[in-house]
Structures are given as structure tokens and as C-alpha cells.
């Protein structure tokens, strides 16, 4: 019996005491990046790990459940006040100029964090963690913490990327991806990505090359706060190459043949099982008078509260003209003025007529 008690103690008590502790950093946006990483840290917490989330964006501090601690890193810095975020999100393709602006947004937030909450900075640097998990895009304050904890306490950091993977990241980590492995994100979006075209290859190469150039030569302008408080010789490529691990949900290959390298492991798509629809939503979808249901969702990056009016109007004019169909529109703002049938997921779903 004593051996049984010892076995139970070792298997159930000690793992709770010595569970790994991770801290999470993401870009200071409107919550999109933290939401993207939430499935990772919620899984870690459910498996018994202790997780600390450095929250800079939530309107109210969330309760993610057991094993998750929140550090309130919110300041009065709001990106959309200093930058035309609507223009950035809705009217332009991301290119090296938007890349510079987004890293600069992260740096300006980091400056306000140091000025308004220096005690929070000290707390993070003095605490002990087993791993730092960092969103790979634009989290300048996260870069500072990851780099400093690595230098002072040898705490490893890993990078987690979601939709987009930058060209310089591919190069830094030796993934065997060349400049023509995916279409350029800037330029005329009506062009077909045809590698037989010299000018399309040239445009794609220039876009990727300028990305490297912009982040290496303009670093003093882009992230002055990080360079003042972190390493004065900070280098983006060096920082990424020294990460212990890199996870990414970015689209890979796009049908093009690419080299395989030993450090890269593709795991394929993740298609979780979907539960049953609610009775009201199922009745809406299976309306016998409908020719079909169209689902529209742009992800959390698309902020409809700052969308230009002509874009919002275009969608709902299209809905009004397709009366034989039903629409499920994932949109996080109130749209009381629209009379077309749709489902609003801003709170409990409500069918509108």
C-alpha cells in the first residue's frame, strides 16, 4: 500500500509542482495576434503547464481559466490614433513600407510601457520562466524581453507565426525557401503569379529583397526604443536565427516545388471536427426557400469598425440583391441599420430581416 501511495504522489503531485512555466508575448494590435496564439497557450494550460500572458490589447482583462496568469501590460497607446490603420488594413497590400510601420507601432508601444509601467518590465525580467513564446511579427516589446531573458538567464525563446511568414525569416532559419517561392504581396493584385513572366519574377524578387534591406538598414528609425534598452547592435535575422524553435501556420508551397531541409517539418492541415449547429442556426441554413448558404469571414485582422463605408456598403448591397441565398457573416460590430437577412456574431446570434 505504501508503494501505491508513493506511485500516486510521484505521478500526480510532483508534475503539478514542477510543471514548466511559459510566458507569451504578441504584437500590440487590437487583439488579433493574441487571439491567434490563444489556442496554443490554452492547450498548454489544459495540459498542466503554467502560462503567463502579457496582455497589451484587451479592453477588459480576460479570464482564460486555470493555470493562466495575466500580466496587465496595457498603456494609453492606441495605434489607430497615430497611424491610419484603416488605410493599412483595408486599402493597401502589405509591403516593406507597412512592415516598417508595424514594427514602429510595436516600438512606440514599448516606449509607453517603459514610461507608464516600469514596474511591470522589472517584474518580467526578475521572474523565472522555462520558455518564452513570442509571436513572430511586430512584437517589439516581446523581442526585448526574449532577448534580455536569453542573455541574462539563458531562457530559450521560440517563435510562433500564424498566417504570414516573412522572407527574411525563411532565410534566417534556412528553410530552403527562395524569393520566388510565393507571390509578391505588393503590386497589381489582378496579375496572375506566372513564373514564366520575367517582370512578375522581377517584381517578386524586388519585394523580398527590399524587405531584407528595409529591416537591416532602417532599424535605427524603425525600433529606436528597442535599440536603446536592448542590444545596440540588434539584428532581425540574428534574433530569428537564434530562436530554439519556430512554429508557423503560414501557407507553404502554393503548388510550387520546393526544397526539403532537415530542420523543416510540414505537418499538413489541421481540420478539427465540427460540432452540431445550434437549432436556430441549423434552421436558418436549411431554409427550404434558400438556394444555399454563403459564409463570409475575414478573421480578426479585418476590423469592420474602421472599414471604409464604401466597402461595408458594397457587401450589404450584394446581400440585398441575392435574396434567394442566406448569409452567415462573421462581423464584430453592431449593424442595426441593415435589413438584409444575416447573422450577427456580436454577442448571441440573431436573425435579422
Distance of alpha carbon 55 from alpha carbon 51, whole angstroms: 12
Region 277-299: what's the mean pLDDT? 82
* 258-278 per-position pLDDT tens digit: 777 777 777 777 777 778 877
Q: What is the CATH number of the domain that holds 41?
A: 3.40.50
> What's the maximum distance between 2 C-alpha atoms anywhere in the chain?
77
Residue 272 domain flag: no
Distance of alpha carbon 123 from alpha carbon 114, whole angstroms: 12
Residues 75, 30: one domain?
yes
Which neighbouring-strand residues pair with 69? Answer: 52
Q: Is the Cα dihedral 191, 193, 196, 201 positive or negative? A: positive
Residues 234, 114: one domain?
yes
Highest mean pLDDT: which of 9-18, 115-124, 238-247? 115-124
Residues 199, 321: one domain?
no
pLDDT of residue 272: 73
Residues 209, 332: one domain?
no
Residues 295, 149: one domain?
no
Distance of alpha carbon 150 from alpha carbon 155, whole angstroms: 5
Residue 81, phi then psi, degrees to nearest 5: -75, -40
Residue 85 domain flag: yes
Give the range of the structural domain holding residue 130, as residue numbers without chain letter: 11-248
Share of the chain above pLDDT 70, in %: 71
pLDDT of residue 161: 79
Distance of alpha carbon 162 from alpha carbon 42, whole angstroms: 16
Distance of alpha carbon 140 from alpha carbon 33, whole angstroms: 13
pLDDT of residue 268: 72
Region 164-174: what's the mean pLDDT? 68
pTM of the model: 0.75
Query: pLDDT-based confidence at 342, cuts 50/70/90?
Result: very low
Spatial contact of 172 and 241, defined as CB atoms under 8 Å apart: yes
Lowest-confidence pick of 256-270, 279-293, 314-328:
256-270
Does the pLDDT value for residue 217 go beyond 50?
Answer: yes
Residues 287, 242: one domain?
no
Q: How far is CA 23 from CA 98, 132, 232, 278, in A?
A: 28, 5, 24, 36
Does the pLDDT value for residue 296 go beyond 50?
Answer: yes
Residues 286, 175: one domain?
no
Q: Pick from 231, 248, 265: which residue ends a domain?
A: 248
Does the pLDDT value for residue 255 go beyond 70?
Answer: no
* 41-61 per-position pLDDT tens digit: 999 999 999 999 999 988 888
pLDDT of residue 184: 62
Does the pLDDT value for residue 70 go beyond 90?
Answer: yes
pLDDT of residue 67: 93
Does the pLDDT value for residue 10 go beyond 90?
Answer: no
Q: What is the mean pLDDT of the chain?
A: 77
pLDDT of residue 292: 87
Structural domain total, the chain: 2
Residues 80, 197: one domain?
yes
pLDDT of residue 129: 95
Does the pLDDT value for residue 339 go beyond 50?
Answer: no
Q: Which residues of 188-224 are buried (b: 16+ CB within 10 A; e: fewer)?
A: eeeeeeeeeeeebbebbebbbebbbebbeeebeebbe
pLDDT of residue 5: 44
Residues 147, 292: one domain?
no
Does the pLDDT value for residue 124 go beyond 60?
Answer: yes
Region 86-109: what's the mean pLDDT? 76
Does the pLDDT value for residue 333 go beyond 70?
Answer: no
Count of C-beta atoms within a 10 Å radius of residue 134: 26
Count of C-beta atoms within a 10 Å radius of residue 303: 19
Amino acid at each position: 500500500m505504501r508503494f501505491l501511495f508513493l506511485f500516486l504522489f510521484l505521478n500526480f503531485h510532483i508534475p503539478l509542482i514542477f510543471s514548466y512555466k511559459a510566458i507569451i508575448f504578441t504584437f500590440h494590435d487590437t487583439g488579433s495576434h493574441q487571439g491567434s496564439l490563444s489556442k496554443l497557450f490554452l492547450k498548454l494550460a489544459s495540459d498542466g503547464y503554467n502560462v503567463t500572458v502579457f496582455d497589451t490589447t484587451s479592453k477588459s482583462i480576460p479570464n482564460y481559466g486555470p493555470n493562466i496568469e495575466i500580466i496587465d501590460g496595457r498603456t494609453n497607446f492606441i495605434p489607430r490614433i497615430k497611424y491610419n490603420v484603416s488605410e493599412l488594413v483595408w486599402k493597401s497590400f502589405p509591403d516593406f513600407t507597412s512592415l516598417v510601420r508595424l514594427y514602429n507601432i510595436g516600438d512606440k508601444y514599448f516606449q509607453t510601457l517603459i514610461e507608464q509601467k516600469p514596474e511591470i518590465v522589472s517584474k518580467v525580467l526578475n521572474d523565472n520562466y522555462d520558455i518564452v513564446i513570442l509571436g513572430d511579427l511586430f512584437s517589439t516589446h516581446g523581442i526585448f524581453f526574449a532577448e534580455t531573458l536569453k542573455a541574462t538567464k539563458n531562457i530559450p525563446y521560440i517563435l510562433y507565426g500564424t498566417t504570414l511568414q516573412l522572407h527574411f525569416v525563411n532565410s534566417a532559419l534556412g528553410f530552403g525557401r527562395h524569393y520566388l517561392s510565393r507571390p509578391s504581396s505588393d503590386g497589381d493584385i489582378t496579375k496572375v503569379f506566372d513564373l514564366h513572366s520575367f517582370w512578375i519574377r522581377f517584381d517578386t524578387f524586388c519585394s523580398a529583397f527590399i524587405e531584407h534591406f528595409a529591416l537591416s538598414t532602417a532599424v535605427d528609425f524603425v525600433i529606436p526604443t528597442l535599440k536603446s534598452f536592448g542590444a545596440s547592435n540588434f539584428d532581425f535575422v540574428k534574433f530569428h536565427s537564434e530562436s530554439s524553435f519556430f512554429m508557423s501556420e503560414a501557407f507553404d508551397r502554393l503548388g510550387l516545388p520546393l526544397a526539403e531541409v532537415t530542420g523543416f517539418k510540414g505537418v499538413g492541415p489541421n481540420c478539427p471536427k465540427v460540432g452540431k449547429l445550434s437549432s436556430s442556426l441549423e434552421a436558418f441554413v436549411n431554409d427550404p426557400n434558400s438556394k444555399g448558404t454563403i459564409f463570409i469571414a475575414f478573421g480578426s485582422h479585418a476590423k469592420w469598425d474602421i472599414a471604409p463605408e464604401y466597402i461595408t456598403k458594397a457587401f450589404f448591397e450584394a446581400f440585398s440583391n441575392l435574396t434567394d441565398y442566406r448569409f452567415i457573416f462573421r462581423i464584430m460590430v453592431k449593424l442595426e441599420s441593415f435589413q438584409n437577412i444575416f447573422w450577427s456574431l456580436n454577442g448571441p446570434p440573431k436573425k435579422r430581416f
